[in-house]
Amino acid sequence: MQFVKGVGPRLASVFRAREIETVRDLLTFFPRAYEDRSKMRSVSELQEGERATVTLQVVGSRSIPLRSGKRMFEVRCVDPEGNPLALKYFHLPRGLDQKFKPGAQFVATGTVKNYLNRLEMSHPELSWGSAPSTAPSPVGKTNAGEGLPLNDPQAAERDFGRIIPVYTEIEGVPTRSLRKILWEAVQKYAHQLEEDLPLRLRDKYGLPKLGEAIRSIHFPTDQKSDGKSGENVIADLLAFRSPFHTRLIYEEFLKFELVILRHRKKLESEGAFAFGRDGGADALTALRKLLPFPLTGDQNRCVEEIMGDLGRSHPMNRLIQGDVGSGKTVVAFLTAGAVLAEGGQATLMAPTEILAEQHYKNAIKLFGGRLNTMLLTGRTGAADRRAMFARLEAGEPTLLVGTHALIEDPVRFRSLRYVMIDEQHRFGVEQRRVLREKGLADGPDGRKRYPHQLSLSATPIPRTLALTAYGDLEVSTVKEMPPGRSPVRTQVIRGEARRSAYEMIRLQVREGHQAYFIYPLVNESEAEGFTSLKSASQEAERLAREVYPEFKVGLLHGQMKPDEKQKVMESFQRNETQILVSTTVVEVGVDVPNATVMAIEHCERFGLSQLHQLRGRVGRGSAQSHCFLFTHQNAREATESRLEVLEETTDGFRIAEADLEIRGPGEFLGTRQSGGLPFRMANLVRDQDWLLKAREDAQSVLAEDAEFTRPENAPLRAYFEREGRRRLQHFGTT
């Protein structure tokens, strides 16, 4: 990095903190926007509020005392036609006043303001010397502090008379310095970067070379020759639609897909114990008969898909996704039964105690104790633990349900063959790895055997995201809900409508039903500046005293002790509490079929998928359920957050698509990948087409030449050798 002019040890460490470590990283730190400085403007045509670049000459300057006791520095200037414009400085960089001598010339870029009918700019970006063609005036080099103009002969070419890049700010690096560093790096290194895309693929889509793409993205050259006007060029650049952008987007997707598909192949080549043939399938059938209901078509299909995987001598790596209440857990239990029947142990890890306990009770209830199940959470007593550990180590075929207590050191299995993770995005890669490793075993041939793995998720994710985030997983989907449930009626509530919503809720509770009220925070101090947010504990009091004095109101939040939570939950389950005020603790799990109202306060603070998940807490019984989404947003803001999608549909996949568009992939991935997806240029929503092309190409490259030994794939081979260890390991889900 320090080979780049302008980057010394200090800047190198600032960059390193942003994961910009190599020249290549620097060159792929792309502009987030562009500014058109291709035209010098006349002051006479400037409008208030626009950003513009003008050539100016100093007429005079003065320091003006302000009422606050500070001083303001004002520079009176004129453009070449004699139109006046003033510059204002509230913090004058050291030494700058000396340079504003009458007659001095410079180019200024800034936002135009109109103050008492006179145009001005405050703290503009300056470049000394006159218009780009003229030689800059000789001004001695001082230090390169924030905003201090440099006497830089290249400034004319770099900063003016063109479309210039606008970068995301990096603290401690002035905008202009950053642009200058990129300029230097692009000039010197863009064309030396190794080309990672095979020529064949570049030709297939007519994509430009890497060096050319990088150069043009940072410092677009005049493309008016191809018939486009400057404005169109900017529009294409801003929309990431230029051929240069496309080339980099495709390249990112292709590399990503190659990594993830190779990872998947590697998993597929690993060994596992196979299940299902030796009594497992029969056991499953027997368990299924014990269920008080028939499985839905989707559940049956999922069971079959999983049994297909378990029957192979390679580890299953499958995700089962479907809305809350679609019956995923039942599928997990049944397939675990097949593994237990053949002497294997299984485990189901859930993100909260409430959920783990509920799974445990459900397993006992559904199968009348015929599925050997144990429960381990932070609340399990010492004696029970010891007894359980002894049974596990003795190899008893059992399903151990629990929280992250499962991954603690003392838990040892004798023959863990099947690992199931509920709400898998709630766990980190590391936690899931630890659990999986508890099932590592030596096969009779001395080779390692891995346990089969099933992840469960109630946050349906859009297809494009599944292809990337879960590209190394098989995915099963449960769309069909168990019969007898009617869709939850959903309404966004603003202003005065709140009162009638409260009354509708009152009617529901009078009829014997129950209601959830969900709040984003426990108490107001958690988020300074959001003091208007209603906090759960205060609201619980208000609801109990002022709105529903006739009902019993309970409170549940994440800072309560586990047994306090348990008490509150149980009281709600028994209908001793009719209204449960809660933070998002209830988001996952909890099954109270008698609850028919989900009221969510400050719903704009949640993602659409999260709201949808919360809504899934009701509508579990046969009675009509209701969801009230309270918001303080005005109509325009509300349109942007698209809350009405929730009024229109209960299809989790459609909601997820909308959420992805609004909030990006981070919302879906949670803690499962430290840095989220590794795209600098590509966008999963905007660039879906290119993702699909890249995936197809990656598949066909790997099918023909998995190790990149053919000469035409040499660039890919070089890429994997170069980057292999550094980035690629972040990608997979295991």
Closer residue to ligand ADP in complex, CB, 619/732 = 619
Closer residue to ligand ADP in complex, CB, 342/353 = 353
Task: Please identify which residue in 78, 92, 193, 295 interacts with ligand ADP, judged by CB under 6 A.
Answer: 295
Taking the complex as a whole, the smallest distance from the CB of residue 475 to Mg ion amounts, in Å, to 17
Which of 555, 629, 608 has the alpha carbon at shortest distance from 586? 555
> Judged by CB under 6 A, does residue 327 bind ligand ADP?
yes
Rg over CA atoms, the chain: 31
- Which among 173-181, 228-236, 321-329, 532-540 is the span making contact with Mg ion, rule CB under 5 A? 321-329
The Cα 706–Cα 721 span in angstroms is 14
Burial label for 196, CB within 10 Å (0-12, 13-18, 19+), is middle
Token digits of residue 58: 């100093």
Closer residue to ligand ADP in complex, CB, 351/732 = 351
Cα 92 to its chain centre, rounded Å, is: 40
The Cα 249–Cα 241 span in angstroms is 10
Taking the complex as a whole, the smallest distance from the CB of residue 327 to ligand ADP amounts, in Å, to 3
The Cα 701–Cα 682 span in angstroms is 21
Nearest to ligand ADP by Cβ — which residue? 327
Which of 734, 718, 712, 379 has the alpha carbon at shortest distance from 562? 379
- Which among 78-86, 326-334, 493-501, 602-610 is the span making contact with Mg ion, rule CB under 5 A? 326-334
> Judged by CB under 6 A, does residue 315 bind ligand ADP?
no
Closer residue to ligand ADP in complex, CB, 42/575 = 575
Taking the complex as a whole, the smallest distance from the CB of residue 327 to Mg ion amounts, in Å, to 9
Q: x-or-dash pattern for Mg ion, window 271-310, by CB under 5 A?
A: ----------------------------------------
Closer residue to Mg ion in complex, CB, 159/353 = 353
Pairing of strands 113-115, 33-36: unpaired
Closer residue to Mg ion in complex, CB, 260/656 = 656
SS in 3 state form for 375-442?
EECCCCCHHHHHHHHHHHHCCCCCEEEECHHHHCCCCCCCCEEEEEECCHHHCCHHHHHHHHHCCCEE
> Judged by CB under 6 A, does residue 299 bind ligand ADP?
yes
- If binding means CB under 6 A, how many residues of this protein chain bind ligand ADP? 15
Task: Please identify which residue in 99, 176, 247, 328 interacts with ligand ADP, judged by CB under 6 A.
Answer: 328
Closer residue to ligand ADP in complex, CB, 119/655 = 655
Query: What is the crossing angle of helices 280-290 and 297-310, to 10°?
Result: 160
Q: Interaction with ligand ADP in 442-461: which residues (CB under 6 A)?
A: 458
Q: Give phi and psi for 565, each to the nearest 5.
A: -60, -45
Taking the complex as a whole, the smallest distance from the CB of residue 649 to ligand ADP amounts, in Å, to 18
Taking the complex as a whole, the smallest distance from the CB of residue 1 to Mg ion amounts, in Å, to 48
- Which among 328-336, 407-415, 437-445, 510-518 is the span making contact with ligand ADP, rule CB under 6 A? 328-336
**Span between the terminal Cα atoms of the chain, in Å:** 33
Which of 46, 191, 40 has the alpha carbon at shortest distance from 105? 40
Closer residue to Mg ion in complex, CB, 583/613 = 613
Task: Please identify which residue in 3, 90, 115, 293 interacts with ligand ADP, judged by CB under 6 A.
Answer: 293
> Judged by CB under 6 A, does residue 591 bind ligand ADP?
yes
* Residue 520 partner contact from ligand ADP, Mg ion, none using kind-dependent CB cut-offs of 5 to 8 Å: none
The Cα 110–Cα 112 span in angstroms is 6
Taking the complex as a whole, the smallest distance from the CB of residue 360 to Mg ion amounts, in Å, to 13
Taking the complex as a whole, the smallest distance from the CB of residue 200 to Mg ion amounts, in Å, to 46
For residue 195, the number of C-alpha atoms closer than 13 Å in the C-beta half-sphere is 18
What number of other Cβ atoms are within 10 A of residue 79's Cβ? 19
> Judged by CB under 6 A, does residue 90 bind ligand ADP?
no
Q: Is the dihedral of CA 671, 673, 677, 678 positive or negative?
A: positive
> Judged by CB under 6 A, does residue 115 bind ligand ADP?
no
Name the CA dihedral angle for 402, 408, 414, 418, rounded to a multiple of 10 degrees.
50
For residue 5, the number of C-alpha atoms closer than 13 Å in the C-beta half-sphere is 9
The Cα 336–Cα 320 span in angstroms is 14
Task: Please identify which residue in 322, 344, 439, 471 interacts with ligand ADP, judged by CB under 6 A.
Answer: 322
Closer residue to ligand ADP in complex, CB, 6/593 = 593
Cβ atoms of residues 625 and 596 within 8 Å: yes
Q: Which DSSP string corresponds to 534-595? A: PBHHHHHHHIIIII-TTS-EEEE-TTS-HHHHHHHHHHHHTTS-SEEEESGGGGS----TTE
Taking the complex as a whole, the smallest distance from the CB of residue 439 to ligand ADP amounts, in Å, to 22
Cα 547 to its chain centre, rounded Å, is: 38
For residue 185, the number of C-alpha atoms closer than 13 Å in the C-beta half-sphere is 25
The Cα 464–Cα 662 span in angstroms is 15
* Residue 35 partner contact from Mg ion, ligand ADP, none using kind-dependent CB cut-offs of 5 to 8 Å: none
- Which among 31-39, 319-327, 430-438, 726-734 is the span making contact with ligand ADP, rule CB under 6 A? 319-327
Task: Please identify which residue in 150, 287, 324, 354 interacts with ligand ADP, judged by CB under 6 A.
Answer: 324
- Which among 320-328, 337-345, 406-414, 494-502 is the span making contact with ligand ADP, rule CB under 6 A? 320-328
Task: Please identify which residue in 220, 325, 451, 554 interacts with ligand ADP, judged by CB under 6 A.
Answer: 325
Closer residue to ligand ADP in complex, CB, 321/673 = 321
Closer residue to Mg ion in complex, CB, 329/347 = 329
> Judged by CB under 6 A, does residue 351 bind ligand ADP?
no
Burial 694-732 (b: 16+ CB within 10 A, else e): bbebbeebbeeeeebeeeebebbbebbeeeeeeebeebb
For residue 535, the number of C-alpha atoms closer than 13 Å in the C-beta half-sphere is 15
- Which among 27-35, 232-240, 290-298, 427-435 is the span making contact with ligand ADP, rule CB under 6 A? 290-298
Taking the complex as a whole, the smallest distance from the CB of residue 687 to ligand ADP amounts, in Å, to 32
- If binding means CB under 5 A, how many residues of this protein chain bind Mg ion? 1
**Residues whose CB is less than 8 angstroms from the CB of residue 50 and which lie 6 or more positions away in sequence, other chains included:** 111, 112
Token digits of residue 465: 């995201």
Taking the complex as a whole, the smallest distance from the CB of residue 350 to Mg ion amounts, in Å, to 8
Taking the complex as a whole, the smallest distance from the CB of residue 728 to ligand ADP amounts, in Å, to 33
Taking the complex as a whole, the smallest distance from the CB of residue 322 to ligand ADP amounts, in Å, to 6
Taking the complex as a whole, the smallest distance from the CB of residue 304 to ligand ADP amounts, in Å, to 15
Q: Interaction with ligand ADP in 666-725: which residues (CB under 6 A)?
A: none
Closer residue to ligand ADP in complex, CB, 458/658 = 458
Closer residue to ligand ADP in complex, CB, 180/328 = 328
> Judged by CB under 6 A, does residue 287 bind ligand ADP?
no
> Judged by CB under 6 A, does residue 329 bind ligand ADP?
yes
Taking the complex as a whole, the smallest distance from the CB of residue 329 to ligand ADP amounts, in Å, to 3
Q: x-or-dash pattern for ligand ADP, window 459-488, by CB under 6 A?
A: -----------------------x------
Q: Interaction with ligand ADP in 371-430: which residues (CB under 6 A)?
A: none
SS in 3 state form for 432-469?
HHHHHHCCCEECCCCCEECCEEEEEECCCCCHHHHHHH
**Could you tell me the CA-to-CA distances from 577 to 185, 384, 558, 586, 592 in Å, in that order?**
66, 31, 19, 15, 12
Task: Please identify which residue in 155, 173, 284, 330 interacts with ligand ADP, judged by CB under 6 A.
Answer: 330
Token digits of residue 9: 């040890």
Residues that bind ligand ADP (CB under 6 A): 293, 295-296, 299, 322, 324-330, 458, 482, 591
Residues that bind Mg ion (CB under 5 A): 329
